[in-house]
Structure 1
């Protein structure tokens, strides 16, 4: 009998397959490069290893390979008849998620974790800002994710993966002291954990630690493969801080080396779009001239990678790209055909960016204010959703409404107030 690192039984007679599964799981949880390879090799060692197919499906989904994920998931389902109850439940839950049935999948997560709390493959689908709770479009999703992890905390102890996830949710709910303590532990336990490096960057961002953030990533990133799924996004963090210091040349160098669609070789399409569009937009807000060709390139990428609406967080960044590129038809589709759990917020945000592209600051502010009631429902992190707030602040400042801008900024945190007013 073989088990994974969380003491869950694996239905395989092959010790080599079990060992490779262990490696694949660690790579998945740490955001390492080539996380799919160990699962492929585990399947080669044991073609009947259903859990390895499920792991392969999850890694493929994580990097945006929807077709490959569904193919692997179909193989897992075909082999599910002779596996443990935990593995059957895991395969069912992952299947629902990959079929786009988010609400049903989340119900299955809760039911599964009640029985099998140390199944990290299922837990990690709902433990982050991009998870099933994170993209549920529901009010209070950050607190809900923290509550989900708090229920699991007694079962994971000081586990490095869990510590990084727990830290992120403390960060996203404004509990920065706890976030710092948990993320420092996670990094000490596994310095190669890219998710921990990511959370460390978010904690530094929230605390306004620009120099410390830059120094950390300059030290950490060289040891992380560009094929890693978080390499482009961590470079985005570094580029934002570099922009804040006034080093425009350095910001562009980071952008072109690791953030854009051409450069972000390991990133999922969602991250590539979001990171590139938000960096360009924040640069413009800071007074940097962004060539229209850059906007046209990311607009074309958005249109190809996300031809349909359905995720407000993605649609928001696609809307920025289309608006700034002058792609009015693509932008009009996002405004007129919103879809997904937070679809009610998409038109206001998209219209706000449309007006910003036209230098209609009053009109843009009106539309952006309409989405400010609960931007958390859009999805993404607090740092990423600052894009809406920063845009509104810029619109107010350009109308000379400094007092109103300062009141808005102070509601968020002094970092924004200092930066804009």
Structure 2
């Protein structure tokens, strides 16, 4: 029996299939382009390779090829007779994921990795802030993610991928120094790990290292294929740091070429959320955002997220519709938002409507109860600073200056050192 690059037995008689599968694993874990092609080569070399078809489905899913992914996982399920128990459970977890049952999939994966901790493509589904724990909608999901990666870490030794995943968990629970140390260790082993570079950017953001962050990504990004899954999001980090530096030219250059619709080649959820976030944060920082930008983004949100259910996307769609003056689209989210944190999306949507109309008292009323548990919405701390800054801005508009300053200092002290809010800077 052959084994994959993590030492797991795989049921294939083809060395070519195994080699292509291993290549796909490495590309997938490092966030590099070519994953779909590698897993396609694996199943072409051995059409009966169940795990190859499951991995192909996962890669297609991450490339937003959902119909193809469902076909591939169905093929994988049809080939599980005669495979190992691990492989059968692995394929079943992917089948559950593609069936749109994230809570059940999470339970399956958490049980699965107790017996097979190095089954990396299964384990991966619960890592990262965009994984099954990150998008669980639960209070305390950041601590749950840390517990998950902490339990897996001893099984992986000096593995660059696992170290980078645990480093992110550390970062999101406020352990920035430990996160940076572990991330540097990971990147020393595999410097072209885009997940590692991404999580390093998050740690540098949390540490307030704007100059170092800009310099690092300026050097790292030119060799990163713009078709890769994290290219547009890493570009968002570059735009965020350009905004912090007041570099308006660089900000709009990177936004238009690699973040916003028409320039980005990333997943729709990243294009929508990152573009809405950088537009709003630019506006809060005092930079003009052309109405046409919001209008185009509202159209994009309506095209790719016409129904509610993905709370992190719905939050940003609501912002886009509010700023574009698309009242009907916004009302639909405010009235129907469902999904893992739909109960938070609804008041946020109402708050964005109030903000667009400069109705600051109503905005505060809707935002205040959300702030205690907004981690349920998903995303990283850096991404949820959209809400932190919006809330402080509303307080300032109501002339509650001391409360605004105290709120930022207590909740996001790194941002308080140099507030990215024009209204707060003018009141300093």
- Structures share fold, TM-score greater than 0.5: yes
The count of corresponding residues between Structure 1 and Structure 2 is 420
Contact 1:410 / 1:417 at 8 angstroms: preserved in 2? yes
Q: Answer whether contact 1:362 1:396 (CA < 8 A) is retained.
A: no
Q: What is the match of residue 366 of structure 1?
A: 365
2:287 matched residue in structure 1: 288
Structure 2 residue aligned with 1:134? 134
CA distance in 1, matches of 2:366, 2:237: 27
Aligned partner of 1:250 in structure 2 is 250
Secondary structure (helix, strand or coil) at the match of 2:191 reads coil
Which residue pairs with 2:324 in the alignment? Answer: 325
Q: How much does 1:399 deviate?
A: 2.2
Deviation at 1:398, TM superposition (A): 2.1
Give unmatched runs, 5+ long, in structure 2: none
CA RMSD of aligned residues (A): 1.0
1:96 aligns with 2:120: no
Look up the match of 1:394. Answer: 393
Distance 1:250 1:110 in 2: 43
1:99 Cα offset (Å) = 0.9
Q: Secondary structure at 1:179's aligned position in 2?
A: helix
Do 1:336 and 1:347's aligned partners in 2 also have CA atoms closer than 8 Å? yes
* Offset, 1:302: 0.8
Shift in Å, 1:10:
1.1
Which residue does 1:309 correspond to in 2?
308
Q: Distance between the aligned counterparts of 2:262 and 2:86, measured in 1?
A: 40
Q: Which residue does the alignment assign to 1:348?
A: 347
How big is the shift at 1:82?
A: 2.2
Q: CA deviation at 1:244?
A: 1.1
CA contact (8 A) 1:6 1:119 kept: yes
TM-score (norm 2): 0.97
1:186 aligns with 2:186: yes
1:72 to 2:72 alignment: yes
Unaligned runs of 5+ residues in structure 1 are: none
1:42 is aligned to: 42
Taking the aligned partners of 2:217 and 2:11, their CA distance within structure 1 comes to 40
Distance 1:253 1:10 in 2: 46
> In 2, distance between residues paired with 1:63 and 1:379?
20
How far is 1:361 from its partner? 2.1
Counterpart-to-counterpart distance in 2, 1:194 and 1:184: 13
Distance in 2 between the 1:263 and 1:416 partners?
A: 29
**2:271 corresponds to which residue?**
272
Q: Secondary structure at the match of 1:302?
A: helix
Shift, 1:263, TM fit: 1.1
| Structure 1 ranges of 4+ moved more than 3 A | none
Contact conserved, 1:30 with 1:195, CA < 8 A, in 2? Answer: yes
Tell me if the contact between 1:2 and 1:12 (Cα under 8 Å) persists in the aligned partners: yes
Is the Cα–Cα contact under 8 Å of residues 309 and 334 in structure 1 kept in the other structure? yes
